[in-house]
Copies of this chain bind each other. A is one copy, B any other.
Amino acid sequence: MASDSTDEHVDGIVRRLGEMGLSGHTSKGAERTVIGVIGVGFPNELPEIIEVMPGVDHVARITKSWKHASREFKPTDTIVKVRDVEIGGNELVVMAGPCSVESREQVLETAHAVKAAGARIMRGGAFKPRTSPYSFQGLGEKGLELLAEAREQTGLPIITEVMEPGDVSLVAAYSDILQIGARNMQNFPLLKEAGRSQKPVMLKRGMAGTIDEWLNAAEYIMSEKNFQVILCERGIRTFETMVRNTLDLSAVPVVKRLSHLPVVADPSHGTGKWYLVKPLALASLAVGAHGLIVEVHPNPDAALSDGPQSLTLESFASMMDGLRTLAEPLERIVAPGTSRVPAAFAQVAV
């Protein structure tokens, strides 16, 4: 309460709380009176409702609004199983592939190469969220078919983005994991529909999203009884212009402390520069990420989207070698692979 609040003010608050079925405990000090409210199930708006009442100085919330995503609800780590791959355990699971699916040749070439280098999951965008309506928007269902063909040839499960509720069933019919992009972190109808699909969902953090909002977004998926949620740190917007985004690696251990859900890092979008991907991938492993999602393109200069942040097949293999070297002292596992790009693809690498 404000230092000039009166007993009437205090009574007013306590009465208002009572009307909402809550009880307020009043403590009077020499300079201040504090009213505490303890209980379950009170409305998220409570702090703001009380804050503007007469005599109130400040309201502070102490409990969180997300539940199923919290470690208190489930103390043990969640392992998300995707075919034979387990995300959330001791293995650093690397997902790799092109930003956008562009052609059959591009997808297949990349799929074989990333598998050879140790990737466990194939990524590729068929529906692309682009700032401008005049940018390439993705191949749509044709792209999904190409990804499915890549899975058939390589055995790699696939992950791809879904952008609207009406597309969830289509994308879920092809993809092993549904990806929700950063711009859609708070697209609540999409989160609910993805939850209903009962497919594993990878939820990217929004560009200016807090960890609390991110876990609330995960809660939207989980409130539909879908607990197969993977969180993905992909960089936040900051004042720095020399990177596209600032990869927030502290989010990895923070989320692991607060939540049982697996958390992976995206050093490609998280930096926007191919030459920063390897150092940040190593740092992501060091900080404890459960996995990585990385853009790889056989010919980044010609990519229809995000070329500048894509690794070549050779530099991807080099990154994987670095991860394997680092995994051992950290007692983590990275799938074996060869740093040699398969002969057929060698000529395109930088």
Q: Which residue of B lies closest to A244 (CB)?
A: B48
- Tell me whether A239 and B239 are in contact in the complex, defined as CB-CB below 8 angstroms, given that A36-B27, A284-B283 are known contacts: yes
Q: Is the CB of B65 within 8 A of A131?
A: yes
Asked whether A237 is an interface residue with its Cβ less than 8 Å from the other chain, the reply is yes
- Tell me whether A32 and B38 are in contact in the complex, defined as CB-CB below 8 angstroms, given that A132-B219, A208-B208, A306-B45 are known contacts: yes
Q: Mark A306-327, 1 if CB is under 8 A from B, else 0.
A: 1111000000000000000110
Asked whether A337 is an interface residue with its Cβ less than 8 Å from the other chain, the reply is no
Q: Is the CB of B45 within 8 A of A304?
A: yes
- Tell me whether A223 and B326 are in contact in the complex, defined as CB-CB below 8 angstroms, given that A29-B38, A282-B287 are known contacts: no
Q: Is the CB of A220 within 8 A of B133?
A: yes
Complex Cα spacing A251 to B16, Å = 30
| Number of copies of this chain that the complex holds | 4
Complex Cα spacing A139 to B316, Å = 50
Asked whether A301 is an interface residue with its Cβ less than 8 Å from the other chain, the reply is yes
**Chain A interface residue bracket vs B:** 35 or more
- Residue A242 contacts which of B49, B65, B254, B279 (CB distance < 8 angstroms)? B254
- Residue A287 contacts which of B250, B272, B279 (CB distance < 8 angstroms)? B279
Instruction: For A173, list chain B residues within 8 Å (CB).
Output: none
Instruction: For A271, list chain B residues within 8 Å (CB).
Output: 250
Q: Which residue of B lies closest to A241 (CB)?
A: B210
- Which A residues are closer than 8 A to B by beta carbons? 2-4, 16, 25, 27-32, 34, 36, 38-40, 43-45, 48-49, 51-53, 57-58, 60-63, 65-67, 72, 129-136, 163-167, 183-184, 186-190, 192, 207-208, 210-213, 216, 219-220, 223, 236-243, 246-254, 257-258, 270-276, 279-280, 282-288, 300-301, 303-309, 325-326, 328-330
